[in-house]
Chains A and B, each alone.
Chain A
Amino acid sequence: MNEIVGRPARHWMEDGSVELAFGIQAVLTGAVFLIGQISAPDSTFSKVYSFLAAGLWGCVIFGSQWAIKRLKERLVAPRAGYVVLPEAKWRFSSGRTLLWITPVGAVVFFLFLTFMFQIPIDNFRRSPWVVGFGCALVFAVISIWSAVYYKMPRYFLLALWSACFAVWIYGRGSDSLGPLMMLMVWIGFGYAAIGAWRLVEFLRANPRFEQSGE
């Protein structure tokens, strides 16, 4: 019974458009902020860009939301139907939810503090790559959980992709470029590639309903 109840949620994810939009969003977000970090700190470009970056980022976020809606309406709905998911209800009383949220939340909160306020732990201050490394591992764990929960094996590939970033940044060591932004670009490419591959497969397997002869 739970399998049937969970089908609308899986339907939302099955065509790959969510991953494609999220991937492009992540690549562009990472790129927007990496450009700011690469440019010379006191240059006119840098000053102007720091104002523009937030606007650009907003355009990326809203643009990808719009794109995913259009993609679903034009390509997915005529082939596989249309579903609106209910608003998410967090059940903090659920032991299983707490079991997942507590450790993941603690790691994310710790990494946030480290990144935002440079909390006085010398090793972390000297090694900004640790933030990227930790976030990549968190992403890998979340991907594995998604693969199991939504029964989507392709998320194991994303977990492997995130783990590859963790290994790469561990080998690269200290870096002045924002490791989080590099992670965004890396993960974004992974999501976009897997989403595009899945979308093509989905479109091939599901011809438009009125053309299917039924």
Chain B
Amino acid sequence: MSDVDRIIHEPARLQIVALLSGAKEADFLFLQRETQLTKGNLSSHLMKLEEAAYVEVEKTFRGKIPLTLVRLTEKGRTAFQDYRKTMNGLLR
């Protein structure tokens, strides 16, 4: 169990990383809708993932509306793949 990545292992963050692994990038609203987390909760988990350099957060505008785009970094993608391998190995 010591091999398990604790940053990804937390259920909400695992869901965020799994969602982002199926997309090139996604906005905050999509992640909030799919994870059913509150804005504050989602922000806090994204911050932790950003600190670990697993995601990149870009704040921009669509017209006059603020838009927060989130994408998985190469490090994050690799970490997620490794996590899946580790978990598959443990559950086998």
CB-contact partner of B26 in A5, A82, A209, under 8 A: A82
Q: Does B18 contact A (CB under 8 A)?
A: yes
A85 at the interface (CB under 8 A from B): yes
0 or 1 for each of A72-84: is its CB under 8 Å from B? (1 = yes)? 0100011011111
**Chain A: interface secondary structure?**
helix
* Chain B hits for A48, CB < 8 A: none
| Alpha-carbon distance between A81 and B31 when the two chains are bound, in angstroms | 8
Q: For residue A77, which residues in chain B have a CB less than 8 angstroms away from its CB?
A: 27, 29, 62
Q: Are B15 and A83 in contact (CB under 8 A)?
A: no
Chain A residues within 8 Å of B33, by CB: 80-81
How far apart are the CA atoms of A209 and B28 in the complex, in Å?
12
Are A4 and B26 interface neighbours, CB within 8 A? no
Contact B65 A85 (CB under 8 A): no
* Contact between chains at A83 and B62 (CB < 8 Å): no
Name which of B19, B22, B24 has the most chain A CB atoms within 10 A of its CB: B22
Q: Report whether B26 and A84 are in contact in the complex, using a CB–CB cutoff of 8 Å.
A: yes
Besides A7-B22, A81-B34, A82-B62, 19 other CB < 8 A contacts?
A4-B15, A4-B18, A6-B22, A8-B22, A8-B30, A11-B30, A80-B30, A80-B33, A81-B29, A81-B32, A81-B33, A82-B26, A82-B27, A82-B29, A82-B67, A83-B26, A85-B23, A86-B23, A209-B29
Using a CB–CB cutoff of 8 Å, the interface residues on chain B facing chain A are 15, 18-19, 21-34, 62, 65, 67, 69, 84
Binding site for B on A (CB under 8 A): 1, 4-9, 11, 73, 77-78, 80-87, 209
